Each structure stands twice: as C-alpha cells, then as structure tokens.
Copies of this chain bind each other. A is one copy, B any other.
Amino acid sequence: MQSADAKLSRSSLLLALRRYSTAVHNMEQTVLLPSLLRDVPYDDGSDCEATDNSMDLYEYYLLLKAIKNTVESGLVPHDDTKAKSHAALHKGLEPLLEAEPEALFHFHLRGLFTVMATLAKKSQNLTEKYLDIVGISPE
C-alpha cells in the first residue's frame, strides 16, 4: 500500500516542480564561485550526441537559476526569447492544437512533469561537475 502511494506521489507535477527547485537550491549552495564554470564546455554526461549547444557551464548555471525563478513564481513568461524553438515545436502540432484540448492537457501535463525531472538531473550534474573542478570528489 505504501509503495503504491509512493509511486503515486512520484508522479505529482507539484512534487516534480519542488524537486527541481531543491536541486537548483543545492546547486546554488554548492557553487560558491560560479565564475569557475566559465568556458567549461557544457556536457551533461549523457550519450546524446546532439549537443549543438554553444553554452558554457556558467551560462547553463544562469539558465537553470532563471528557470527556478519561473517555477517558483508560477508565472508563464511572455513568448519572446524562445520564439525559434517554439516555432519548431509547434510545427507538426498545429492540426491538433485546437481539435483536442483534453489530449493536449495530458500531453503538456506529462511533458512538464518529464522535463522538470530532466532539468533537475542537469542541475545535479552541474553541481557534481563544479565539485570536480574545485577538486572535491563527491562520495
């Protein structure tokens, strides 16, 4: 019974948002000298080759913090900065965007849940990399 409850609560969107905030909070507490992350290439440790990402770790650190602010404020930012990515994401979705709001609800709910878990993991990776840079190897 308890494990079923635990499984349910692992699927909560609010918990996923909170878990992300905690991961970034830990990152902020650990990374005392963020400038040490400058010019360190971004590499999240996954086997994904598609990292055409030109950000360094410092920029990624700022990005993760900015997302935390958005999460904690609960505010939906204006659609400006990521216009290019959004356009790409919306392409192919358009026929469904208005036809099935209930499917879209599940799609975005699950999507937000999944991406929060991914971003929490990235915060943890960045924290570990920082510890590595300053010469403290985590147990």
Partner of A108, one of B53, B75, B111: B111
Most B CB contacts (10 A, CB to CB) among A16, A75, A77, A79 go to A75
Chain A binding surface SS class:
helix
Shortest A107–chain B CB gap in Å is 5
Please choose the segment from A21-29, A30-38, A98-106, A127-135 that sits at the chain B interface, where 4 or more of its residues have CB less than 8 A away: A98-106
Contact with B along A56-69 (1 / 0, CB 8 A): 00000001000100
Contact of A99 (CB < 8 Å), options: B52, B63, B98: B52
| Interface bin, chain A | 35 or more
Complex interface residues of chain A between 103 and 138 (CB less than 8 A to chain B): 103-113, 115-116, 118-119, 122
Q: Are B112 and A109 touching (Cβ within 8 A)?
A: yes
Please give me the residue from chain B that is nearest to A55 by CB atom: B102
Is A76's CB within 8 Å of the partner chain B? yes
Nearest CB in chain B: distance from A92 CB, A: 3
Q: Can you give 10 A-B contacts (C-beta < 8 A)? A: A11-B77, A12-B75, A50-B98, A52-B99, A67-B102, A86-B110, A89-B107, A92-B92, A93-B93, A104-B115
Given contacts A11-B75, A81-B106, 6 further A-B contacts (CB under 8 A): A13-B76, A15-B74, A52-B99, A77-B109, A89-B107, A98-B118
